[in-house]
Structure 1
Amino acid sequence: MSPSSRPTRFFRDTTGHADGLNAGFVRPDTLLAIVVISDEEDCSARDPELFDPSSPVYGATDLNLRCFVHADEAVQPISRYVDGLTALRASRPDLLAFGLIGGIPTELATDATSTDGAFIEILAHPAMEERVDPENPNRLVPSCDVPGRGQAFPPRRLVQVAQALGAARSTVQSICQDDFSPAARDLARLFGTRACQRFEE
């Protein structure tokens, strides 16, 4: 989605290729829907060395905790993604939708009645606090746990992206739900609402 002329640089100092083979992939008159499915927090590194096990800069920190411990200096700011997504729909903000299925407690999933205050509630929930697990100090405390299926961790940055885009353009669901039907329905509701607005004008 980023053209080669964009000042943003990618891994190994490469440039974007939206103006090459991907030209036309994101058309200005279509709904741009982004869905993130993850059982962990976003760790979009500003410094690729963050993932180097033998890094002289970050080596003293367990690999699983580096994105948490070094978030301020080594991880991209949330604004990079919010600004980038909104810029793609600057003239048609109604044609942008963001869906997250992540490690939030199941009772906090948003729906059609949710307002922007829902994201504040999610981020303020005790289970969403990022803290080192005293029983397993090489990881954070899980934010939700499904016996027999696994654990998930607080996706604070991803929820903050949804919060910045607003409840009218975002939905946040739990990856720890036993049944993903409610999540699928709310994603369909959000995307359908956004897409239909284009044809109502």
Structure 2
Amino acid sequence: MRQIPFLFLTATALLAGCPDREVSELTPAPAKVEYKDIPVTVNRDLDLLFVIDNSGSMGEEQDSLKANFPKFINVLNTIQGGLPNAHIAVVNSDMGTLGGPRQGTPGDSGCDGNGDDGVMRALETRFTNGMANVRYISDIKDDATGNRIQNYTGSLAEVFSEQAAVKNKGCGYEMHLNAMRRALDNPANAGFLRPNAYLAVIIIADEDDCSLKTGAGQGFFSQGDIANVQSFRCFSSSTTCDGNLGDQVGPRANCRPNDNSQYHEKIATYVDFLKSKKSDPGLLIVAGILGNPTPVSVTTRVRNNVTVPDLVPSCTYQGATLQRAFPAVRTSAFLKAFPQTTFTTICKQDLSDGLVQIAQLLKTIIGSPCIDSDLATPYQCAVSDVTNPGKPNQTEVRIPQCDQAHSVKPCWTLDADVAKCAATKSQLALNIDRGGTVPAANTHVIANCVTK
């Protein structure tokens, strides 16, 4: 049950392709440095799409998501200027059989047709003054008055709790990535995406992605009684491992998405689709609370008096009952295709750590002055105003540390800020005293600070 910490981009990563335009760093280079990139003008528009597994094993996890959502929002509230201008939507992973034969009873863990077809869950009319088919939460700050313009009544946490109640009676062949793609293209969801907003896709699931190619439903769902080998069927046809061991019992090594699958879409197809939604790749964020991608192992079990191959859970935890999750090989590969990403295990009784970790990533990307690490004392930072970072017309102006009188401006200080930076080790914020001057458009504060 490992956690992968949220990403901090390095200066060289930020300036990839422009080796002669690197931002100044500390000299001599210290052993440990925290890198910060803080946009001076913060883009506060954030479109959040939650893709939630609604198969039969997800009841406790959904309850934990709803219970801990306020902690997620509490972190976003500490972003400069408060809660971003948010659109928040929820879809489930039920995409039916995509033209294949019906499996079981739809609405009771069965699969048919296009399932819920990536349609965002409508808010309950009691939260929308009786308006029906409000497909996403809108919570926007009015810059003129400072008030929030909301398309709902009640608290944000209460409304999201109802919106995220996708239940656990959906199709057991979870197509997380197909649901994401359809959600962002379905005309029923018009208005959710804003062209210049950050787009964050958050997948919460205890089984891997089983997304099928267009037209592959008939072939995939016509392989006999595949209900007996549900998790293994998706794994065996969508994933490849060293040795090509088929249904042989035992561990698997170096498992990865099978780009030559007869039935399943390549991960690159979904990566390219999501990237096509933003002209600026820096506006894309992906995250997952998933089954650990390793270990991967195959066993057998007896079902309906038949011995069938089965996939071994990659992690378990004890909730009200024993809960388990399966290797998220495909879904984690999707996450890794994006530089701004985070993953945490779903095998925890309390999902608060994962939600806070995702919120911290969003806060860092949107722009947070908080220093996450413990800093060495006395403070040593190289701080610059960088305009048009990473571009041919990049310019840099070094900013000195403020003296007691702030006699040279702009200058920087590190100040205790428990309210904004409560979740960080240092609880320090990097502040710039500009003396009332306004920096050029597309200026970022780039800082490298020595840590312990």
Task: Give the structure-1-normalised TM-score.
Answer: 0.68
Cα drift, residue 138 of structure 1: 4.1
Equivalent residue runs for 1:144-183 within 5 Å? 144-147=315-318, 148-166=321-339, 169-183=340-354
Equivalent residue runs for 1:70-109 within 5 Å? 70-71=237-238, 72-89=261-278, 91-104=279-292
Cα drift, residue 133 of structure 1: 1.8
SS at match of 1:70: helix
Give the letter aligned to residue 77 of structure 1: K
User: Cα deviation per residue 1:46-93 (whole Å; 9 max; x = unaligned)?
Assistant: 2113563xx1xx22754412212222111111011111111112x211
Cα distance change of structure 1 residues 178 and 20 upon mapping to structure 2, 3 Å threshold: closer
Cα distance change of structure 1 residues 87 and 161 upon mapping to structure 2, 3 Å threshold: same
Q: Which residue number corresponds to residue 312 of structure 2?
A: 141
- Residues 96, 194 of structure 1: 8 Å contact kept: no
Cα drift, residue 179 of structure 1: 2.5
- Give the distance between the partners of 2:336 and 2:265, measured in 1 at CA: 17
Q: Which residue number corresponds to residue 194 of structure 1?
A: 365
- Give the distance between the partners of 2:326 and 2:342, measured in 1 at CA: 18
Q: Within the alignment, does 1:49 sit opposite 2:222 as a pair?
A: no
Q: Which residue number corresponds to residue 14 of structure 2?
A: none
Cα drift, residue 11 of structure 1: 3.9
- Give the distance between the partners of 2:328 and 2:342, measured in 1 at CA: 14
- Give the distance between the partners of 2:266 and 2:188, measured in 1 at CA: 28
Cα distance change of structure 1 residues 132 and 88 upon mapping to structure 2, 3 Å threshold: same
Q: Which residue number corresponds to residue 59 of structure 1?
A: 224
Cα distance change of structure 1 residues 37 and 19 upon mapping to structure 2, 3 Å threshold: closer
Q: Within the alignment, does 1:33 sit opposite 2:200 as a pair?
A: yes
User: Cα deviation per residue 1:90-140 (whole Å; 9 max; x = unaligned)?
Assistant: x21111111100111xxxxxxxxxxxxxxxxxx5x4x1x2x3224564420
Aligned residues: CA RMSD = 3.1
Cα distance change of structure 1 residues 50 and 173 upon mapping to structure 2, 3 Å threshold: farther
Cα drift, residue 185 of structure 1: 1.2
The structure 1 segments of at least 4 consecutive aligned residues displaced by more than 6 Å after TM superposition are 13-17
User: What is the total number of aligned residue pairs between the two structures?
Assistant: 163
Give the letter aligned to residue 25 of structure 1: F
Give the letter aligned to residue 97 of structure 1: I
Cα distance change of structure 1 residues 133 and 162 upon mapping to structure 2, 3 Å threshold: same
Unpaired runs of at least 5, structure 2: 1-96, 100-112, 118-181, 239-260, 303-307, 369-441, 445-452
> Whose RCO is larger (CA < 8 A, sep 6+)?
1
Give the letter aligned to residue 264 of structure 2: V
- Residues 301, 309 of structure 2: 8 Å contact kept: no
Cα drift, residue 146 of structure 1: 1.2
- Residues 206, 324 of structure 2: 8 Å contact kept: yes
Cα distance change of structure 1 residues 194 and 200 upon mapping to structure 2, 3 Å threshold: farther
Q: Which residue number corresponds to residue 132 of structure 1?
A: 298
The structure where helix makes up a greater share of residues is 1
The structure where strand makes up a greater share of residues is 2
Give the letter aligned to residue 49 of structure 1: Q
- Residues 40, 102 of structure 1: 8 Å contact kept: yes
For the pair shown, which has the larger CA radius of gyration, 1 or 2?
Answer: 2
> Percent sequence identity over matched residues?
31
Task: Give the structure-2-normalised TM-score.
Answer: 0.32
User: Cα deviation per residue 1:126-170 (whole Å; 9 max; x = unaligned)?
Assistant: x1x2x322456442010001132411000010110111113xx11
Cα distance change of structure 1 residues 100 and 76 upon mapping to structure 2, 3 Å threshold: same
